[in-house]
């Protein structure tokens, strides 16, 4: 257990409404969403007992650098922290570092830690995120299989990248491609093995998959599409191998599995909360128990931009939903309706996505892939619903405004590079 300093909070927030319920708020998960929820509770005036429980030993931090600057060694893990130590201290919360919640007892409103301690709550916020999906294939227990979710994962993998090393990345999604790019930039030989017929198949349209494929191949990464993995083995020289369905064995120094995330919703499920591929919440981040809220990668929330419930795995959502859940816990009811935004950095290319592009949309292109910078707009009628593009951050900021304003646009002007986005 670390720093129990409620007096700091009382001093920092002297006008806070301490006499109003709730008196104790417990947050499970000290990641990005949990960290933002804690900060927001204080900045919104909550001066009661605030407990932040996290099974990692690190204070709340952001994960995007873990597959980029931290993995390459360009930045220390500490640089990913959500706030400076003094700011974290000043929150005056009970930070239970390295503590795991085993069970939620809703009948008496308590969480039970694995060490046997019980903590009472008035409001509980679940920010338990997710864990890297494992591949239960033959030989998986015979060789080291790396995944990338935590600081420890990045620190374990980093020394295995570099000149003379070879890495096989199983999974051509975001994490897999970012690891591949970082490893390649460190001088390693890299093979990406993807079962689907294109990269990031679940999240981007085919044209963007093509762009990513061309980018990785141009950097010297071997990308195998439609390639089944049968299992793993240890070669005679002791190095690990990935065994492919076509009989090829890829021998390497490190195998990285990047095949997605499993939401940590077990606590919620065991407590009888509604779950559906994550913890189901309403627009105010409330679960099926109004005293329990959820935010971040674990939460499945209604999304008006998609017209359905979504579980978002993004930096933006972890922050904004963490803030929204904290406000909701305090009774400040504002619907959380984020326009989904995601970015990825690979070999100096910055790709951004606003909204949810679908096959039903009409696509309008602005710019040329050959220039390395273009935007694809996704329209329903004359209204832009989503936009995606590499190295086009400025245009995409305008695209975001177009999407949010829901105003009809002239598709010809949108496609015309001679018409500045600011004039559309």
Ligand X SMILES: Cc1cc2nc3c(=O)[nH]c(=O)nc-3n(C[C@H](O)[C@H](O)[C@H](O)COP(=O)(O)OP(=O)(O)OC[C@H]3O[C@@H](n4cnc5c(N)ncnc54)[C@H](O)[C@@H]3O)c2cc1C
* Residue closer to ligand X, measured from CB, 31 or 390: 31
Tokens found for residue 299: 């939460």
Tokens found for residue 206: 């085919």
* Residue closer to ligand X, measured from CB, 254 or 364: 254
Q: Which of 198, 235, 41, 196 is nearest to 127 (CA)?
A: 41
Q: How far is the CB of 35 from ligand X (least distance, A)?
A: 7
* Dist CA 154 CA 72 (whole Å): 9
Q: How far is the CB of 269 from ligand X (least distance, A)?
A: 12
Q: How far is the CB of 29 from ligand X (least distance, A)?
A: 3
Q: Which of 30, 39, 31 is nearest to 2 (CA)?
A: 30
Cβ neighbours for 198, distance < 8 A, ≥ 6 positions apart? 206, 209, 210, 213, 225
* Dist CA 416 CA 59 (whole Å): 47
Q: How far is the CB of 17 from ligand X (least distance, A)?
A: 27
Q: How far is the CB of 140 from ligand X (least distance, A)?
A: 20
* Residue closer to ligand X, measured from CB, 51 or 379: 51
Pairing of strands 145-146, 254-257: parallel
* Residue closer to ligand X, measured from CB, 31 or 48: 31
* Residue closer to ligand X, measured from CB, 77 or 372: 77
Task: Phi first, then psi: give them for residue 6, nearest 5 degrees.
Answer: -60, -25
* Residue closer to ligand X, measured from CB, 45 or 77: 77
CB neighbours (10 Å) of residue 114? 11
Cβ neighbours for 16, distance < 8 A, ≥ 6 positions apart? 9, 10, 45, 46, 47
* Residue closer to ligand X, measured from CB, 47 or 169: 169
User: Do 366 and 417 form a contact (C-beta atoms < 8 A)?
Assistant: yes
In 237-329, where does DSSP find H-type helix? 266-270, 315-329
Q: How far is the CB of 131 from ligand X (least distance, A)?
A: 8
Q: How far is the CB of 209 from ligand X (least distance, A)?
A: 18
* Residue closer to ligand X, measured from CB, 101 or 224: 101
Site of interaction with ligand X (CB under 6 A) = 28-34, 53-56, 63-64, 66-67, 100-101, 127-130, 148-149, 175, 264, 267, 296-297, 313-316, 318, 342-344
Q: How far is the CB of 150 from ligand X (least distance, A)?
A: 7
Query: CA neighbours within 13 Å on the CB side: how many for 315?
Result: 13
* Dist CA 253 CA 324 (whole Å): 43
Residue with tokens 């916020």: 125
């Amino acid at each position: 257990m670390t720093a129990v300093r409620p007096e700091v909070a009382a001093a920092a927030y002297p006008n806070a409404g301490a006499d109003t319920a709730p008196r104790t708020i417990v947050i499970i998960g000290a990641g990005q969403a949990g960290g933002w929820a804690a900060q927001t509770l204080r900045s919104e005036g909550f001066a009661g007992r605030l407990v932040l429980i996290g099974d990692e030993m690190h204070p709340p931090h952001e994960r995007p650098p873990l597959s980029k600057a931290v993995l390459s060694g360009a930045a220390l893990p500490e640089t990913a922290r959500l706030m400076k130590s003094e700011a974290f201290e000043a929150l005056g919360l009970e930070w239970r570092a390295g503590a795991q919640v085993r069970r939620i007892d809703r009948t008496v409103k308590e969480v039970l830690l694995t060490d046997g301690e019980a903590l009472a709550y008035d409001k509980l916020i679940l920010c338990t995120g997710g864990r890297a999906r494992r591949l239960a294939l033959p030989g998986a227990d015979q060789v080291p299989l790396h995944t990338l979710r935590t600081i420890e994962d990045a620190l374990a993998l980093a020394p295995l990248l570099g000149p003379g090393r070879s890495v096989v990345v199983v999974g051509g999604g975001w994490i897999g491609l970012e690891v591949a790019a970082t490893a390649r930039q460190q001088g390693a030989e890299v093979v990406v093995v993807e079962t689907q017929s294109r990269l990031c198949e679940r999240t981007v349209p085919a044209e963007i998959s093509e762009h990513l494929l061309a980018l990785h191949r141009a950097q010297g990464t071997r990308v195998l599409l439609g390639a089944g993995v049968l299992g793993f083995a240890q070669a005679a020289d002791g190095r690990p191998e990935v065994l492919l369905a076509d009989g090829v064995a890829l021998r390497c120094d490190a195998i990285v599995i990047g095949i997605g995330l499993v939401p940590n919703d077990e606590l919620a499920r065991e407590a009888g909360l509604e779950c559906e591929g994550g913890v189901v919440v309403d627009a105010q981040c409330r679960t099926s128990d109004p005293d329990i809220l959820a935010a971040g990668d674990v939460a499945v929330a209604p999304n008006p931009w998609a017209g359905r419930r979504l579980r978002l795995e993004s930096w933006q959502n972890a922050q904004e939903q963490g803030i929204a859940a904290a406000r909701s816990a305090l009774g400040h009811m504002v619907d959380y309706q984020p326009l989904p935004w995601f970015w990825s950095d690979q070999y100096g290319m910055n790709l951004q996505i606003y909204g949810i592009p679908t096959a039903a949309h009409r696509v309008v292109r602005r710019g040329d892939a050959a220039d390395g910078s273009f935007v694809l707009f996704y329209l329903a009628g004359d209204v832009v619903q989503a936009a995606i593009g590499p190295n086009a951050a400025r245009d995409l900021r305008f695209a975001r405004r177009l999407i949010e304003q829901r105003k009809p646009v002239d598709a010809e002007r949108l496609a015309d590079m001679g018409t500045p986005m600011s004039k559309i």
